[in-house]
């Protein structure tokens, strides 16, 4: 029987010790400490996100028009979602009669009609 002159299944013995789990844990620990510090800074930093402001009439101040756009988009999204829910309950597979096919087409048109204002908004 022949003798093997090298073993290919074991790693080389001259690799540095840092490639073990110890290095991974050290890097993860440093990363978590840095991350915790940045989270603490973010929590302590002032919040500059504007909130919705109610402006009394006659005060001379104007409300930001983007809030009106957001409300309009929410209302249109509710209408679109309702159309999708109705369309989703419709059976549109298998053999359909002509009346069922016409109903599916009407529901598809209703979904398209409800979605169009969202695309423009």
What confidence tens digit (pLDDT) does each residue in 64-77 have? 888 888 899 999 99
Distance of alpha carbon 85 from alpha carbon 112, whole angstroms: 13
- Where does the pLDDT of residue 91 fall: very low under 50, low under 70, confident under 90, or very high at 90 and above? confident
Mean pLDDT of the region 38-61: 57
pLDDT at 121: 55
Across 7-11, 91-95, 112-116, the highest mean pLDDT is recorded for: 112-116
Q: In terms of pLDDT, which residue wins out, 96 or 63?
A: 96
Give yes or no for residue 50 having a pLDDT over 70: no
Distance of alpha carbon 86 from alpha carbon 92, whole angstroms: 12
Give yes or no for residue 51 having a pLDDT over 60: no
106, part of any domain: yes
82, part of any domain: yes
113, part of any domain: yes
Give the range among 12-21, 44-53, 103-112 with minimum mean pLDDT.
44-53
Give yes or no for residue 95 having a pLDDT over 60: yes
46, part of any domain: no
* Domain count within the chain: 1
pLDDT per residue over 1-27, tens digit each?
667 676 666 666 666 655 666 666 676
2, part of any domain: no
92, part of any domain: yes
70, part of any domain: yes
Give the pTM: 0.44
- How far, CA to CA in Å, does 106 sit from each of 6, 59, 74, 101? 75, 49, 24, 9
**Which residue segment(s) compose the domain that 105 sits in?**
66-120
- C-alpha angle 20-23-25 in degrees, rounded to nearest 5: 110
78, part of any domain: yes
């Amino acid at each position: 029987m022949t003798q093997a002159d090298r073993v290919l299944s074991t790693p080389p013995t001259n690799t540095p010790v840092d490639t073990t789990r110890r290095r991974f844990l050290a890097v993860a620990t440093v990363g978590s400490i840095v991350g915790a510090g940045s989270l603490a800074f973010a929590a302590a930093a002032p919040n500059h996100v504007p909130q919705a402001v109610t402006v009394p009439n006659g005060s001379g101040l104007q409300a930001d028009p983007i809030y009106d756009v957001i409300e309009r988009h929410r209302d249109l999204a509710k209408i679109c979602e309702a159309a999708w829910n109705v369309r989703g309950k419709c059976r549109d597979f298998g053999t359909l009669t002509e009346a069922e096919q016409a109903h599916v087409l009407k529901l598809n048109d209703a979904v398209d009609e409800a979605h169009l204002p969202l695309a423009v908004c």
